[in-house]
Structure 1
Amino acid sequence: MPYSHYTLETLKSLIEAAGLAGYIYQHSSHMLVLQEALNDDGSPLNNFIQHELSADQIGLQFGLRLLDNKLEFLIGVTHSNQDRGYEIGAGNLKADQRAFNLLYAFYNFPKAFYLIHFPLAANSTQLEEEIEKQLFQLESMGFLDTAIKTNPMGEQVKWMKTFIVQAALDIKVRIQTSLL
């Protein structure tokens, strides 16, 4: 799906009209970030998940980057845990990371921020592969492999990984639909 004919202003207008977020932040002349992302029904999107054993928390934000007529889908991921030895502040984010507000999960400050990116036109398999490569394979994300629940069919599911992929896919598809 070609997106080269869009300007950032056009993208912002279409996304606002679709009601995807309470506010859309424009960073520089090339990036939009959905602040207060919304579900289809207008209710706030659940953008936090917490591991039930380790108390590790993940916060998600979504955005678009338009550079050189290429439109990328972005996922900003904050990781928090009980380790008070290190906390990042907004001043520690670099380059395009600065477009994302740090999401403060419960009482923990983020310990890490990751920015995942891939073409908006990527299909669901490509989306999952990029999230796997850019996030799930990081050593610091090892706790995601221990977040396991049994689904109604009796299968063991890595529920946090599934949640991240499904939330990203849902928002990506909603963005694409808003651009039709």
Structure 2
Amino acid sequence: MPYNAFDLATLKASLEKARLAGYLYQHQSSILVLQEPLTEDGSPLNIYLQHELTADQIGIQFGLRQQDGHWEYLLGITYSNQNAAYEIGAGNLKGDQKAFNLLYAFYNYPKAFYLVALPLSANTQTLEQALQQQLFNQPELQFLESAVKTNPMGEQVKWMKSYLLQQALDMKVRIQTALL
């Protein structure tokens, strides 16, 4: 069954049955946000990342939005740092960003919020491109380039970018599988 054949109630029921999150938050009539996402074994997913040297932080959430009869996969990304000079309150989120306000005020008030959207049926390459174009090229997120660790094979890996990509891909695949 193509994803666009699902209405919100059917989609929500399928995702709840698959236990992808502690609960699903419905925003208006078109968005579902997975609150307290779970790993495949049912344990809480680590949705917060912090750079070891700069203390810059990222929070990630997952959601779905029905737009023009098609389902989109959404990633809500919060960015924060220790600088208190500029902070955004949850009341300042605009449009569909408001669906993600339950996680919004974490650790510090965030400095920025990004909403990455792509078709739910998108492949891995499209997901990678969407993250690169809609997220990784943001000036505030340049610290992601210096979040580097050495993997067991001795290669330098941009671990925060890699983690975001892997979690986004894993959750997209788990959502798609739940809808089969």
2:3 partner SS: coil
TM-score normalised by length of structure 1: 0.97
Are residues 1:109 and 2:91 paired?
A: no
User: Is contact 2:89–2:105 with CA below 8 Å preserved after alignment?
Assistant: no
Match in the other structure for 2:176: 176
How far the C-alpha of 1:41 sits from its partner, in A, is 1.1
How far the C-alpha of 1:43 sits from its partner, in A, is 0.8
User: Is contact 2:90–2:104 with CA below 8 Å preserved after alignment?
Assistant: no
- Matches of 1:105 and 1:169, distance apart in 2: 23
Q: Give unmatched runs, 5+ long, in structure 1.
A: none
1:4 partner SS: helix
Alignment of 1:39-54 (within 5 A): 39-54=39-54
- Matches of 2:57 and 2:80, distance apart in 1: 5
Partner letter of residue 102 of structure 1? L
TM-score normalised by length of structure 2: 0.97
How far the C-alpha of 1:103 sits from its partner, in A, is 3.6
1:102 partner SS: helix
1:23-46: per-residue Cα shift (whole Å, max 9, x none)?
Answer: 100011111000011111111110
User: Which is richer in helix?
Assistant: 2
1:75-121: per-residue Cα shift (whole Å, max 9, x none)?
Answer: 00000101101111110000100000234443x22111000000011
Alignment of 1:22-61 (within 5 A): 22-61=22-61
Identical residues among aligned pairs (%): 61
User: Is contact 1:102–1:110 with CA below 8 Å preserved after alignment?
Assistant: no
Corresponding pairs, count? 179
